[in-house]
Amino acid sequence: MKIPIGIVDDKSQNRLSLAERINYSDDIEVVLMASNGNDFLDQMKSLPEERYPAVVLMDIEMPGMDGIETVRTGKQLYPSVKFLMLTVFDDDDKIFEAIKAGAGGYLLKDEKVPVIIDCIEQLQEVGGAPMSPRIARKAFDLLMKASLPEKEASSEEKNDYRLSGRETEVLKLLVDGFDYKAIAEKLFLSSHTVRKHIANIYHKLHVTSKAQAIKLATNNKLI
């Protein structure tokens, strides 16, 4: 019996090309294609449960509802459906958020089709958590860093980071959940300037992602 899958990607050429290449497999059948999260959820509403895709290949950046929010909502509405991220994004924040949302695996789009097919089968048949090697290394690093005990910084150590007043403002807004664009609007800065401030913050805090910066700032009361 073929594994029914869905493909969610805002680029029609990507959807059609991937569907055509995957359908050559004797074990997999594409039963749903959607252009974004809203389209996917709308289509799911009209399907009887026996026709749900078992695995959905999900892109991240899409207009309307993006992939991470779609997975978060989809796992609540359709707990039997498994979601496999298939995207160009390999930064720590995207990986972390996708896993938290309920993604069962995370692959990069440059993976060969036989690898994608094998990962679909892993996810469906043995409940594995397939990841591209580069993603697996990043996920392992995230896990290791999260497992390390955090040392409470003294007031002298806090000063060692030497954040400027503006950098402290930007960091506080990051902790409060604002994205780059919202920070720029709130502080009347350009997006380029905000990105430069954030790069300086990462350098001074010796971190490489927003999640790490927020964790360090919160644990060490930098704001």
3-class secondary structure per residue, 61-93: CCCCCCHHHHHHHHHHHCCCCEEEEEECCCCHH
Segment-wise mean pLDDT, segments of 10 residues, the chain, 223 residues: 94 94 89 96 94 96 93 94 90 83 89 90 77 73 56 49 88 83 88 86 82 80 74
Cross-strand partners of 32: 6
Exposed, middle or buried by CB within 10 Å (0-12, 13-18, 19+), for 1?
exposed
DSSP helix/strand/coil, 104? coil
Q: What pLDDT is attached to residue 127?
A: 66
Where in the chain is CATH 3.40.50.2300?
3-144
Determine the Cα–Cα distance for residues 157 and 209; give it in Å rounded to an integer. 21
Where in the chain is CATH 1.10.10.10?
155-219
Determine the Cα–Cα distance for residues 98 and 107; give it in Å rounded to an integer. 11
Q: Which CATH architecture has domain 3-144?
A: 3-Layer(aba) Sandwich (3.40)
Q: What pLDDT is attached to residue 155?
A: 46
Q: pTM for the complete prediction?
A: 0.63
Determine the Cα–Cα distance for residues 134 and 78; give it in Å rounded to an integer. 29
Cross-strand partners of 107: 86
Determine the Cα–Cα distance for residues 81 and 97; give it in Å rounded to an integer. 18
Top CATH class, 155-219: mainly alpha
